[in-house]
Amino acid sequence: MLTLGILADTPRACTGMAVVNGNLAKQLQWLYSDDMRIIYFARFERGKGVAEQSDVYDSYEIVGCEGGVWKEETVKELIKLYKVDIIYSEDDWWSMEGLIKATQATKTPFYFMTPIDSLPIQREAKVLLEKYPYKVFVPNMSYKYLKNGVKLRHAVDSQMFKPVRPKMFDEWTFLWIGRDERRKALGRAILAFVKIYKRHDIKFVVRSNWGATPMSRATYAYIKHKKLPIIMDRMANCPHAYLAQVYSGCHAFICTSKAGGCEMSILEAQATTLPVLATDWTFMNEQMVNRKAGWKIPIESYDVRGKPKEGGVEGKGRIWGNISVDELAKKMAWMVDNQDKAIKQGYWGFGWVRDKFSWKDVATKFFDTIVDDLEKRKLYKIVGEI
């Protein structure tokens, strides 16, 4: 029997990586436990090294590991201790060094998932991604730009994300969720709200990391200075099912991100019947159908990303799109003035997501891709037989 090591954030965290890989591990365990031992190596579960004994979490086997970027020594340790045959991990491409060195040294087949959020793919990234991982899973159409790329889109747990509560307010309520950072562009959602709130009977709920960063503190100060009627909910780790209550309590969801490999919140909002307003830019909104499930808002300008002041690991040239504040405000007003039509959009998205985005399908493609690849490489002498 093969042993697959999934290396990712602890599934107890409210991060995209935890949601994706926790659901992947659960489905693999349910579908293929007779063929493959699934072990989830959970980053940020302990202070140092790798736990010597595994545990069970949400029906699958889990091993606590130290936090931070995966170190070569840590990966070697878990491979040896748990006799791991295949390594799979999700992370940004510039965090691959420890994974590469450990799998190369132990001759362990290595598969990777990375959230390419915009083009062009940096030269440094393309070289690493095509040279070391056997296959690179990408949740959007950018997989075509890697010779070993495989599209593996994300999904949503429709038993967890569903309408579960009445609306919080009688007034039409918009919702925005995310960290207040440059990529998420919360400021543009606030500016659009400012343009219409005095003329429309609406509410705006923002669930964010208030006070955690200089940017979030500046946004908080702006809201207070302008005396804007924005309901500020503080983001914190919570059971994923609780988020369904947050979504369900509102009427429509806004995603102003400048870029994204796959904005999970768009799927989650649709799964709870919310129509969506999202930036019409590459990759990030492939999981939404324009007009039917809401509106894709055109961009009004571009951000060309340069190297960070320190490190420069992200590379140059990534192009992000800035959502049009005026067009967003117009579509927000349209939803308020056409609530019956907007509600129908929400229910169309609800049905579409339930039909098209299944974690079972994701796990099946993941498993088949790895097994087929190992078979073509004739590596069963290394990893055994299925």
Structure-token match 């990303």, residue found = 305
The dihedral region occupied by 153, where left means phi > 0, alpha psi between -120 and 50, and beta the remainder, is beta
pLDDT above 60 (res 148): yes
pLDDT at res. 66: 96
**pLDDT-based confidence at residue 368 (cuts at 50, 70, 90):** very high
Which pLDDT does position 235 carry in this prediction? 86
The pLDDT of residue 383 is 55
Q: What is the pLDDT of residues 225-247, one digit of tens each?
A: 999 999 999 987 777 778 999 99
pTM for this one?
0.92
Q: Is the pLDDT of residue 374 over 90?
A: yes
| Average pLDDT across the chain, whole number | 93
Percent of the chain with pLDDT over 70: 96
Tell me the average pLDDT across 261-281: 96
For 35-49, 72-86, 313-327, which range has the lowest pLDDT when averaged over its residues?
313-327
- Residue 314, pLDDT > 90, answer no
Question: What pLDDT score was predicted for residue 315?
Answer: 55
Q: Are the beta carbons of 155 and 357 closer than 8 angstroms?
A: yes
Task: State residue 116's pLDDT score.
Answer: 93
Residue 224 has pLDDT above 60, yes or no: yes
Q: Which of 15-29, 58-72, 267-281, 308-322 has the lowest mean pLDDT?
A: 308-322
Beta carbons within 8 Å of 65's beta carbon, 6+ residues apart? 7, 41, 42, 43, 44, 45, 46, 49, 50, 51, 74, 78
What mean pLDDT comes out for the span 83-94? 96
Domains of the chain, CATH where assigned? 2-155+359-383 (3.40.50.2000), 172-356 (3.40.50.2000)
What Rg do the C-alpha atoms of the chain give, in angstroms? 22
* Model confidence band, residue 86 (pLDDT cutoffs 50, 70, 90): very high
203: helix, coil or strand? Answer: strand
Q: What is the pLDDT of residue 14?
A: 73
